[in-house]
Structure 1
Amino acid sequence: MDFIQINVHCDPPFREILIAEMGELDFETFMDTEVGFEAYIQEELFSHPALQTLFNRYRKQTRIWYELKKIPKENWNEEWEKNYDPIAVGDQIYVRATFHEAKPQVPYEIIINPQMSFGTGHHETTHQLLALQLTVDHKGKKVLDVGSGTGILAIMAAKLGALSVAATDIDDWCIENALENFGLNNIEPAFVKQGTIHELRLGESYEIILANINTHVLLDEMEEYNKLLSPEGHLFLSGFYDTDKARIMEKATSLGLKEVKSTTEKNWVALVLEKVE
């Protein structure tokens, strides 16, 4: 499985808009650069005409140009290490790679080797959800991370004292990477399964469910999350733009979920909902 790297040059106000739009085209990983951002997608999912159509919609409003490069799977870590810096979430969470110096004085240190998986802590959605996890008691609770990518949110849940953590993703590469990252953090997950939440037909209930995906998937799957969520349980959602929050909340309210807290960073929203019986 090889990847396509897109190096996008654009005006700063359009960076987050284009990232959100490209997320809908199955791009998985984004890195900010001085001139715009880099985006990565599996080669078999890449549609050059779809990308050109997207950029053409915005070219009347801003300058956009881009470069394409194919990256073999085995070269991904080398590319990633050139750009990856450790992340601090306030003074409570420190996310680093194995080649970064440890910070034992930070209460929650997470070690990530993301390879090609989404969820390194750099993106605003992951960063916000990590911060929101600090606001909800995880001790003794069963946690499910849907669309887990690197497994970073499930790892955070375990470090916050969760009784058990489980993870799902549709991508075999993410499954492999999440398992590696659980091992790096000395965490034994209840399971890491491949498939959509519809396909997996999970039978257990969870006090906390985490889903950092995108608007379309969240709207399609939220009813399933709600079925798996225990009464008075908490559902963490992100991966959507502030312009989509009304649609997300309309669906959530129809299912008996109420907003507990939300944050917004660079127009990306992270949301905590509670199941009201």
Structure 2
Amino acid sequence: MRVLIGSSPEEVARIAADNVLAGLAEHGNGAQQVLGLATGSSPLGLYRELAVAAAQGRADFSSTLGFALDEYIGIPDTHEQSYRQTLVNEVCNVIGLPVSGLNVPKGTGSTVAEVQASADAYDAAIKAAGGIQVQILGIGANGHLGFNEPGSALTSRTRIKRLASKTRQDNARFFDGIEHVPTHCVTQGLGTILEAGRLVLVATGAGKADAIAAAVEGALSASCPGSVLQLHRDAVVVLDEAAASKLAQREYYDDAAAGITDENLVVG
């Protein structure tokens, strides 16, 4: 795991975007890019930087497939607060990813079994696309990734999950009161997320500091779903100073961020 710390929101966004683009180049399979998409405030600057890269000719998302992390159950995908509509507005309309290439878990159906069958099909669709090359992530204050709340199995697949009370309270600002916030969702599982070629997690603000410390330096545990990043061979965590404020190994992360050069090698 690499931990990279920016001194400003703009620097955090640039670092994160550079690592997304490098990950697509490293883990790509030629013509088809497959990008995992997160909602929330944390990755918005990253998406703006990807738009700049596209405008400058350093990136092209016109044929990219996008796979969302999650979707609410119980509201139509045309609802303004559905994650499909959020991603259309915050990603497709920003970086030029076609709406036709946007895939989002289906949160509607006649029965629970039908919704779960759609969730199983979502995992299959990711595999059919060749797998997600770079998965963009945020982290909840309680350590959740996607909507994998504390207690989620570390090997879980895309499935129906109950939203934690704290998560619903945090999201109530987007709805007309907490009574309108859905109680359930469909989310990529932690096992699904771990199959991506690269993970790029962005976190900003002091409210994320405890979750980041637990995910990066704490025990691998279902109590902090974000700790599964420790299992991934190409995970990049991009933070601002506030989100990094409770990391015990900060000095090491800063040293490691400098990388390695030929001068560091000993030639025998």
Same-fold status (TM-score > 0.5): no
* Structure with the bigger percentage of helix: 2
| Length-normalised TM-score, structure 1 | 0.28
* Structure with the bigger percentage of strand: 1
